[in-house]
Structure 1
């Protein structure tokens, strides 16, 4: 028997601007309740509230991206069909066989929907009795290999998104706001490596406390659906038990994964009306749209961002019985912001504070600077260092992690650096700094009337190199590899490598810039993010500090907590 309750109205959230400079159209997809159908029988689904989620019963809700939050499932399906039809046509001609096109209704849902890209290629080709070599990650799109076909499919998908934009389901966004108003944690998962780009281009990143996507799956060795691993990893990062979490999926492989993970509630979204398949494969409830799911008003959530110094007793309570690990940005956090990067020198009293803290717990530095540069600036051998926003990681006892994905971008970074240096040479005060995995354009010393010209030149160069993305900092533009890698991913990698990802650890991250927001989001629900600012702005951090001097004082207060005392 279904329970009925209207969805609560939500208060619009302040959503920060997209971090990536994407010219992608954002379109809102509205599903009218009047268009929703009812079905009879035991699995009857009503227009309103087929199920009501209560904060008393659930701590977290995990959403699939494509088809649940965004209407990109159809774009994926079209891209798969275009790629496979081109290949199958050539394959049939070469092997004197009849051409049998890719069927979106049957083949897409059975063999590729919800699966990692290369798994989808393998699964469908296997269904047609076609054997292709795996190939290499650097295979050109269209190469007759698993990698080549997968890359061609992704190329078609990205072109469609670039040309036409991504549609967002308003009802899903309303539902997420209702959940968050009640203090429910939210996560987004996707088998796609394009998840971050889609979220950022539609300004949806801030709605989710955790994101686990195709790149995470590769880095962490997560099995693809129908294995439950990606949902279990999202729940782990949310610090939520599966028996108190909800999975929302539109793919057969997705509901199978939710059931295999023993999540308390698996909701299937059947926008095309195929409810029976989702129910047969593990969905507990099936709806045509998330406007049919209600959220009960159980608690009142109070928002605020107190000073970390004033809240040390509360922080100590959170740390009681746990080990702590502290990760920090360098510029603006351990040192004041200065005119040029070479002048950012850590004061001796700050050095003394971080060394004392490191005697009681793990301390790491995660910086946009090159690894060698930040190591030379800090000069403390016992620290763990992540340079280039986490592309390059090193530490004591032989810790050494390098991103192979980042290495693929070195040739294009070389070309872009040369072009930027030539085009910006005539502007006084601009400084082009080549890092191993990025190019930083410092314009703090540039006159205001020339700063806009610097921005225009960087945009023009970035448009020539689509493999790179433009990022922002304090009086800095950066061109970085256009992949989903950032300080939050670096933090996750470090916690896992150092065996600090268990429930007995309380990790901290302290930073002062927009590039630190990814790390703050990563710690939502599992650690403590602290922003260093002189003026408030929208942030994912839990506490704040005013300047590096307050950072130093706070680190000294953390020292007694380092032993995991009761």
Structure 2
């Protein structure tokens, strides 16, 4: 019986095949074709066809590809050489059968396309808007390609798939490794995380992972089987969860937030005896959003106020721009700069940090930049801005009927470039390293590197865009976030300011209040 659990869940981990996409049936068909072809040659007159209902559900569903082959062959008392990872589909080995199945799957996928469960799409859109952290897991090595083809890559903060399982030597389901790794990268406590699975092995793995709630999705009447496997709740449609659980309780509508200028006295009281640490976004926060990024110039008044603040407290600018670019725009030596969403950091007294893993994907960015310039050169108004650790494709000045062409080109490039993922902003699409690193991680790294301990320092972050939400969330319980304007989604900010002019006025008042307190 389904239980009502009105708890403040903040993260959801979803299996891909069978929960998000309808590719589980395509996988099953590919397995059937592969095994039937193999078994006919192997068993001859004793040939017994691969049974999707029994064999697929028992030995294959939710299991890493090679493990599934081994389990099924064992059920038929067939011994087969393991082979080598580079075995072709013609090789009669475990590795060869794996390659054969994958080739069949990709061909079927090309013929039938990727179909998404509408209830899941509706649910994850709603959860994303509430600020819920989302992870997708899959034993398939084709996960990244499938998500990109379906236009879903940007919905997920974390992806753990067959490629990562192999690279990090993680055990497949029913062991919990894939869920544990997804949870680690989401950075949300187990008691605030939900796992959604449609496979028996997935439910079993979810229970072993120790999260508070495992949801079984059973659109085709598998409810009892999933309950027996340990699912806490079983639904046919993910929208049913709205009446059973509560998600994203901390996210709020920006319009409902109190005004930071009107509440400066209350903010100073909130900071209390601690010393504030100020982190600022640049575009849209310190300067207005403009058609040409080069025209986003910081006013002399703003520069003077920030310089004064940096003389009495730690001030950092965390921007999507290249570090050198944002440093030249601000032009102050007593400020910490984190460029490319925190991949490239520098500051006073020799502070220097570049994300090593981010550097490893620079060749992919080079190639993607070359491809996009060719694909988009015929579209008037598009601007391709290459940064060291990202490519920003601006479509603010593109005619409305050509915007989808720009988005399609970016999605296609994301699909073929391993190591890159899509990012979004205000009239911007980005290609950036597919790593668990963002403005929030950069902010907390800086707090640690600068020895700004939580007991003595109070972080304040000011940002305007969706990409700033990671930083707002990072300071939610340790300090406070201030959103500038609105990005039309739920926010972890505590206060709001309407525009960059109000930001500068707020900073001026903050400087005066802090200066008086420190005198």
What TM-score results when the alignment is normalised by the length of structure 1?
Answer: 0.60
The answer on whether the counterparts of 1:248 and 1:268 sit within 8 Å (CA) in structure 2 is yes
Structure-2 residue corresponding to 1:350: 302
Alpha-carbon spacing, 1:262–1:479, altered in 2? closer, same or farther (3 Å) = closer
Match of 1:399 among 340, 353, 357: 353
CA distance in 2, matches of 1:187, 1:319: 28
Structure-1 residue corresponding to 2:431: 480
CA distance in 1, matches of 2:54, 2:424: 44
Structure-2 residue corresponding to 1:65: 14
Alpha-carbon spacing, 1:226–1:173, altered in 2? closer, same or farther (3 Å) = same
Structure-2 residue corresponding to 1:410: 366
Q: Which runs of 5+ in 2 are unaligned?
A: 74-79
**1:70-115 alpha-carbon deviations (Å, 9 max, x no partner):** 452x41352365278559957997999x999876545655666557
Residue 188 in structure 1 maps to residue 134 in structure 2: yes
CA distance in 1, matches of 2:17, 2:409: 36
Structure-2 residue corresponding to 1:29: none
The answer on whether the counterparts of 2:441 and 2:474 sit within 8 Å (CA) in structure 1 is no
The answer on whether the counterparts of 2:322 and 2:388 sit within 8 Å (CA) in structure 1 is yes
CA distance in 1, matches of 2:184, 2:233: 23
**1:449-483 alpha-carbon deviations (Å, 9 max, x no partner):** x8347647746865875648987755x554636x8
Range 86-95 or range 272-281, more displaced: 86-95
The structure carrying a bigger helix percent of its residues is 2
Q: CA deviation at 1:226?
A: 1.4
CA distance in 1, matches of 2:477, 2:85: 39
Structure-2 residue corresponding to 1:9: none
SS in 2 for 1:256: helix
CA distance in 1, matches of 2:368, 2:31: 26
SS in 1 for 2:231: coil
Match of 2:180 among 229, 232, 238: 229
1:71-150 mapped onto 2 (5 Å cutoff): 71-72=20-21, 74-79=22-27, 81-82=29-30, 85-86=33-34, 104-105=52-53, 109=57, 113=61, 120-127=64-71, 128=73, 131=82, 133=84, 149=99
Residue 256 in structure 1 maps to residue 204 in structure 2: yes
The answer on whether the counterparts of 2:206 and 2:214 sit within 8 Å (CA) in structure 1 is yes
CA distance in 1, matches of 2:90, 2:477: 42
Alpha-carbon spacing, 1:322–1:416, altered in 2? closer, same or farther (3 Å) = same
Residue 491 in structure 1 maps to residue 402 in structure 2: no
The answer on whether the counterparts of 1:62 and 1:248 sit within 8 Å (CA) in structure 2 is no
Alpha-carbon spacing, 1:348–1:262, altered in 2? closer, same or farther (3 Å) = same
Residue 538 in structure 1 maps to residue 482 in structure 2: no
**1:296-345 alpha-carbon deviations (Å, 9 max, x no partner):** 99x9x996133233345665677679887654332222223445333333
SS in 2 for 1:190: strand
**1:190-249 alpha-carbon deviations (Å, 9 max, x no partner):** 2145599589957995xxxx844328x969979675135256448843xx562x665444
Structure-2 residue corresponding to 1:17: none
Q: CA deviation at 1:401?
A: 0.8
SS in 1 for 2:117: strand
**1:123-170 alpha-carbon deviations (Å, 9 max, x no partner):** 3244345635557xxx99999979x95995898399569935312237
Alpha-carbon spacing, 1:398–1:457, altered in 2? closer, same or farther (3 Å) = same
The answer on whether the counterparts of 1:52 and 1:293 sit within 8 Å (CA) in structure 2 is no
Q: CA deviation at 1:275?
A: 4.9
CA distance in 1, matches of 2:312, 2:215: 48
Match of 2:288 among 313, 336, 347: 336
Q: CA deviation at 1:256?
A: 3.3
Structure-1 residue corresponding to 2:499: 547
The answer on whether the counterparts of 1:512 and 1:532 sit within 8 Å (CA) in structure 2 is yes
Structure-1 residue corresponding to 2:336: 383
CA distance in 2, matches of 1:151, 1:557: 65
CA distance in 1, matches of 2:479, 2:216: 31
The answer on whether the counterparts of 1:59 and 1:245 sit within 8 Å (CA) in structure 2 is no
Structure-2 residue corresponding to 1:169: 119
